[in-house]
Structure 1
Amino acid sequence: MGEITRRWPFEDHGHGAFSLVIREPPLTGDSLGLKTWGSSYALARLLHQFADGPLAHLFVPGALSAPHEVLELGSGTGLLGLAAACVWKTSVVLTDLPTIIPNLAHNVSLNREVVGRLGGKAEAAPLTWGGSREDVDPMFWEPNCFQLIIVADPLYDDDHPTLLACAIDEQLALGTDARVLAMVPQRDEITRRLLSSLREELGRRPRPLLCLEEGVVDGQDDWGDEHGDGDDDGMRNVGFWWGIFGRAPSSC
C-alpha cells in the first residue's frame, strides 16, 4: 500500500469536536511506526474520561509543570499524542525512533492549527529506548521531568518490556502523583506475555511502578491485514487493555 492520509474524527465530550489529519507513508520492513494502529485511536477516544476520572488530579491548575507536561513514548504517526494535546489542552512531547521522526514531525505540523486552537501544544523529538545521548533529544538528558506519560501498542519484541520500563523510569517524575497511561491490544498469547513482562519490569524499578487501575475496552485492530491472520478486510475485534501506573511510596 502506498502513502495515505486519513482524517480521524473526535466527538464532542465537553472538550470540543475536532478531527486530526494523519499521513501514513508506505509500510516497509519493520517500520511499524509509520502506521496508525487501532489502539492509538481507541485510547485517544477515552482521554476525556481519564482526565475527568483517575487522572483528574493532574489537571488541576499547576499540577503539570511547563514547558514539558506530557510525554508520549512510541508515538508512531502521532494520533494519540496530538489528540491528548487537543483534549487535555496541554503541552505534549511526541517521541519515537529517529527514522520515524520525519513523518511524525510532518503530522505535528499538519495539525498545528487545530491543536493550538483547542489550547494545546505539540512537538516531536527523537527518543530511542535504551539509546545513547546521540539517540535522544537534549530535552531528555535531565531525568524524571514528566508528570504524565502515555503509550499505546508499544510491545512487539521480547526486549521491548525491559526497554520501555527503563524509558518510563528515566522520564517519569519521582513523586507518587506522577502517572503512566498505557494501552496494549490483547491480540494473542504473545502480546499477553509481553504485557505481563512489562508489568514485572515496572515493578522491579528502584521506585517501583504499580498498576493502580486497569480495564479492557473493545475495539478494532487491523494487525492481521499486514500479517495475514485477520478477516478479508484485515479488521478484527480485539480487547484493548489499558492500565494506569504510579510509583510506590518511598520506604525512606
Structure 2
Amino acid sequence: MQSVPSRRHIIADDIRSKISNGRIKADERLPSEAQLASRYAVSTPTLRSALAVLQNEGLVEKIHGKGNFVRYPRRRITYVGGGHALRTEPSVESALRVTIRTTNLQAHGQLAGLLEVSESSPLTEFHCISHEGKSPHSLARIYVPRDLSPADVPAEPHCCKSVEAKLAKLRPPLAEVRERVSARPPTPEEAVTLRISSALAVLAITRVAADRTGRVVEAALLVLPSDRADVLFTTHHMTDERTSGG
C-alpha cells in the first residue's frame, strides 16, 4: 500500500520545484511564513515543518529577523589533513573571503590542555569566518601563544591563503600535527553564525601543531558544515625496495 505524502512534504516539493525551475531565484526572500501558510491553507507549524525540510537540504536558509531565503548552491571545499589549509578550486578560492576578529585572552580549560600551557598563560584568538558572497561558509577559531601572534592581521575580508600566510609567518617549522575529526550537530551559536539548520551535521576538526622542540605553537577548532566540505588524508607508505637498502 503506497503511503500518502504529508502536507509538509507536498509543500516542500512545490517550493523545491519552483527553486529548481528558476521561478524562485537564489538569494530571493520567500514570502512570509504567514503568507505561505495562507497560500497552502495549512497551519503555521505545518508550514515551518515544510521549510525545515528545505533548510535541512540546504536549499533555504532562515536569517533571524529577515525571513527565509533561497540559498546559492554551496561550493564544496576540501580540508587537507596535515596541510593547514582548505583545498579549493581556483574559482572557489576567489569566491571565498574570510573576516577575522582578534582577541587577547588567557588560557583556560580546554585551551590550556590543547596548547599544553598553564592556566592564565597569554594567548591570542583569531576568530575567522569565511564567506561566499554574503553568506557564511565555515568557521575557525585559531589559538596561538601570545609571543607567536602576528600583529598585522587586518580585520577586513581577504582570501584564505593570505590569512594562513600571516599566521605562519612567526611560527617555527612544524614537526607534528595532530588532528581529530568528528561529525556532530552544530552548537546553537554555530548554527546561528553559519546560518544552518540545527539538524545539519558539521565536521568538527581539532588541530594541534607542535614545533621540533615539542612546543605546541597552534591549536585550531574548525567547523565545516557537512553540505559543503570534505576531509582528505593521504598516507605515504615505504616500498620494499626503499626499505631493503638495496
TM-score, normalised with respect to structure 2:
0.27
TM-score, normalised with respect to structure 1:
0.27
Larger Rg: 2
Which structure shows the bigger proportion of residues in helix conformation?
1
Which structure shows the bigger proportion of residues in strand conformation?
2
More relative contact order in 1 or in 2 (CA 8 Å, sep 6+)?
Answer: 2
